[in-house]
């Protein structure tokens, strides 16, 4: 489930249904979905069985569940550090990233088509079911399984170590304010809904780029959580063209753009996310309904609603950009000449 609001919907579902529960069994139906686990699917399983999910944390589109080991009362981890933090990684962290006491997390990225579903064990397997986790039954009537379903396999799960980022700030949006960040998410910038997001840092880094606005919005190391839908929606709301040169944008324009990003993603979150079909659902399999609130994305040839309100007829156009579609109103988002202003 792609962009920030959809991932946050999933995070909240996991916080409700999975936090505090212990993983009792792991079934890997397709090892290709254990994507970046350096030591392979079998090691992945060994790291998870007996571990308890202590929290659910998100940064941009990355989602993770910090794990506590419940096997030993003395607090010693059953998990050898080398099994989740390869030596090469330790060496590569010299620049910028300070290593702290290793903690582990179950990382998830949904890619283009991943789903995390909380279900009873008697539910039939989904066609693209990749991984099944059986969870402890601490209370009663809790669904017994957490399933990872993914048609295109761009998403995946893995267990990894967590580090503190260079700014020494807490990791992301979760319940634990001291949360660290998994190594694989440490290059991901804060997202616009993160209280620690810095406008000044974003503005100066954006201005230093020599590229177009949309390409910058989609760069997760500059600003995270924004994908193709919400980039188009935010640019439309801010009346800016996707090809506008980043080194010419002025402060008020960037303020407008960021406000638009926050606004559209918060509204999408309230609506449960954007779904065009059953591919994008919450942990209980239900679709969000923000799709009906989109102003630009997917509206080729349809009227620009802002222009219509002003009594003008302007139709949304679709351009191929970065090998994907971009939707703009040619009247209120005019294409800059020579990519400049």
Partner DNA sequence: CGCGGCACCTGAGAGC
Partner DNA sequence: TGCTCTCAGGTGCCGC
3 is catalytic: yes
Q: Which is nearer to DNA, 19 or 209 (CB)?
A: 209
3-class DSSP string for 24-51: EEEEECCHHHCCCCCCHHHHHHHHHCCE
Task: Mention every residue, 6+ apart, whose C-beta is less than 8 A from residue 173.
Answer: 8, 11, 57, 58, 59, 191, 193, 194
Residue 173 pairs in a beta bridge with: 58
CA atoms within 13 A on the CB side of 149: 23
Distance of CA 7 to the CA centre of its chain: 5
| Per CB under 7 A, 1 contacts DNA | yes
Closest to DNA by CB, 23 vs 202, is 202
Site for DNA in 185-204 (CB under 7 A): 187
> According to the binding rule CB under 7 A, does residue 286 interact with DNA?
no
Of the candidate spans 83-91, 131-139, 307-315, 323-331, the one that interacts with DNA by CB under 7 A turns out to be: 323-331
Q: Which is nearer to DNA, 170 or 225 (CB)?
A: 225
Does 250 bind DNA (CB under 7 A)? Our answer is no
Beta bridge partners of 124: none
In the complex, minimum distance from the CB of residue 107 to DNA, in angstroms, rounded to a whole number? 10
Ranges within 27-86 binding DNA (CB under 7 A)? 32, 60-62
Helices (H), the chain: 4-17, 40-48, 87-92, 199-208, 213-217, 228-237, 251-270, 305-309
The site for DNA, by CB under 7 A, has a size of: 41
Q: Determine whether 12 is an active site residue.
A: no
Task: Report residue 14 as tokens.
Answer: 């996991």
Residues carrying an active site annotation: 2-3, 61, 324
Residues that bind DNA (CB under 7 A): 1-3, 6, 32, 60-62, 109, 111-112, 127-128, 151-154, 184, 187, 208-212, 215, 218, 220, 227-229, 274-277, 279-280, 320, 322-325
């Amino acid at each position: 489930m792609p962009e920030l609001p959809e991932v946050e919907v999933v995070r909240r579902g996991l916080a409700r249904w999975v936090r505090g529960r212990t993983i009792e069994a792991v079934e890997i139906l397709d090892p290709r979905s254990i994507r970046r686990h350096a030591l392979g699917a079998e090691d992945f399983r060994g790291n998870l069985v007996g571990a308890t999910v202590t929290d659910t944390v998100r940064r941009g589109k990355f989602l993770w569940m910090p794990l506590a080991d419940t096997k030993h009362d003395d607090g010693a981890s059953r998990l050898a550090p080398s099994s989740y933090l390869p030596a090469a990684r330790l060496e590569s962290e010299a620049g910028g990233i300070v290593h702290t006491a290793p903690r582990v997390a179950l990382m998830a990225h949904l890619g283009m088509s991943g789903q995390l579903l909380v279900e009873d064990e008697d539910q039939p397997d989904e066609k693209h079911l990749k991984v099944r986790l059986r969870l402890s039954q601490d209370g009663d009537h809790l669904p017994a399984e957490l399933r990872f379903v993914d048609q295109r396999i761009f998403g995946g799960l893995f267990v990894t170590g967590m580090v503190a980022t260079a700014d020494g700030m807490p990791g992301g949006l979760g319940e634990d304010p001291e949360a660290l960040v998994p190594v694989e998410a440490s290059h991901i910038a804060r997202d616009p809904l993160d209280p620690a997001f810095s406008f000044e840092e974003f503005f100066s880094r954006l201005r230093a780029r020599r590229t177009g606005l949309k390409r910058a919005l989609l760069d997760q190391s500059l600003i995270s959580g924004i994908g193709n839908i919400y980039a188009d929606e935010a640019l439309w709301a801010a009346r800016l063209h996707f090809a506008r040169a980043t080194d010419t944008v002025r402060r008020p324009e960037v303020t407008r753009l960021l406000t638009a990003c926050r606004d559209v993603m918060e509204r999408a979150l309230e609506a449960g996310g954007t779904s065009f079909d059953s591919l994008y659902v919450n942990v209980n399999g239900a679709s969000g309904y923000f799709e009906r609130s989109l102003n630009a994305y997917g509206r080729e040839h349809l009227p620009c609603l802002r222009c219509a309100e002003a009594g003008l007829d302007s139709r949304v156009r679709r351009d191929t950009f970065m090998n994907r579609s971009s939707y703009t109103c040619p009247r209120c988002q005019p294409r800059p000449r020579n990519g400049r202003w």
